[in-house]
A = this chain, B = another copy of it.
Amino acid sequence: MARVRLTVAYDGRGFHGFADNPGVATVAGTLSRTIERVTGTVVELTGAGRTDAGVHAWGQVVSLDLPTGTELELVQRAINKLCGPALVVRAAEWADEGFDARFSARWRRYRYTIVNRPVPDPFLAATAWHVPQPLDLRVMTLACDPLIGEHDFSSFCRRPRAADGQEPPSLVRRVLDARWEDEGDGVLRLWITATAFCHQMVRSVTGTLVDIGSGRRTAGEMTGILRARSRAAAGGVAPPHGLCLWDVGY
């Protein structure tokens, strides 16, 4: 057996998230069953990011073991025939023995797309959040600055359950970059890179940034929201279909 690295894209609308979950269609479940069917090998998948239900991916990375000598290109083609176009393997390659899609990752980059026009767009409806009220990109850009660096992101994350008698896991994360890109015609993209993210972090950050951009809050409040370490301090959670796991660095 040898380690394999897959780069996977999917339309999140067809899946109840990445993580395997018996009885519902998930990315990991669909992928592992298809690989087992194609190769005859029972596989265990590890993903770089556990995307939620409805969240898309362009560059999700998955690691698994397959028998040495497996024709990866044929496996890739078979998966894409059986699962595509909703779920496709963009690349399949042999990796170092120690490669682990989750623990070897140095950073993850997510993209959140907003369509900021009065009228919705039928062709962006699947991959962008439609925000009809005008957003001030300048203040939304200012409000990104306090996010960069190492912080406790409790205000922006669903609190994880602690194991019995244990401390709850830390929500300290290091954000390497957070910036808006204006694509024109009202298409706004938030690019956010961190060593790792906690649950619902990008969607909560986006919801708060939209509150700021629409004037319900000021850019200056972002630092206080972060320091509060309380879910109640932040804004709402942006819908999942605007979010996409774009790529992962190793």
A58 to B, closest residue via Cβ? B123
Per-residue contact bits, chain A 109-150, to B (CB 8 Å; 1 contact, 0 not): 000000000011111011100100000000000000000000
Interface residues on A, range: 20 to 34
A76 neighbours in B (Cβ, 8 Å): 119
A10 to B, closest residue via Cβ? B122
A127 neighbours in B (Cβ, 8 Å): 123
> How many angstroms from the CA of A120 to the CA of B80 in the assembled complex?
8
The 8 Å CB contact of A9, one of B9, B86, B122, is: B122
| CB within 8 Å of B: which A41-93 residues | 56, 58, 76, 80, 84-90
The 8 Å CB contact of A130, one of B9, B11, B85, B87, is: B85
Minimum C-beta distance from A118 to chain B (A): 8
Copies of this chain, complex-wide, total 2
The 8 Å CB contact of A122, one of B85, B120, B123, B125, is: B85
Contact flag A125-B90 (CB < 8 Å), given A80-B120, A119-B80, A120-B80? no
A76 to B, closest residue via Cβ? B119
Contact flag A122-B11 (CB < 8 Å), given A85-B130, A130-B85? yes
A87 neighbours in B (Cβ, 8 Å): 122
Minimum C-beta distance from A214 to chain B (A): 18
> How many angstroms from the CA of A122 to the CA of B127 in the assembled complex?
11
- Are B125 and A86 in contact, with the CB atoms below 8 A? yes
- Are A122 and B86 in contact, with the CB atoms below 8 A? yes
> How many angstroms from the CA of A127 to the CA of B126 in the assembled complex?
12
> How many angstroms from the CA of A126 to the CA of B126 in the assembled complex?
10
> How many angstroms from the CA of A123 to the CA of B84 in the assembled complex?
11
A9 neighbours in B (Cβ, 8 Å): 121-123
A11 neighbours in B (Cβ, 8 Å): 122-123, 125
Question: Given known contacts A11-B125, A88-B119, what 16 new A-B pairs fall within 8 Å (CB)?
Answer: A9-B121, A9-B122, A9-B123, A10-B122, A11-B123, A56-B122, A76-B119, A84-B120, A84-B122, A85-B125, A86-B125, A88-B120, A88-B121, A89-B119, A90-B119, A126-B126
Give me the interface of A with B, judged by CB distance under 8 Å: 9-11, 56, 58, 76, 80, 84-90, 119-123, 125-127, 130
- What are 9 A-B pairs with beta-carbon distances under 8 A? A9-B121, A10-B122, A84-B122, A85-B121, A85-B122, A85-B125, A88-B120, A90-B119, A126-B126
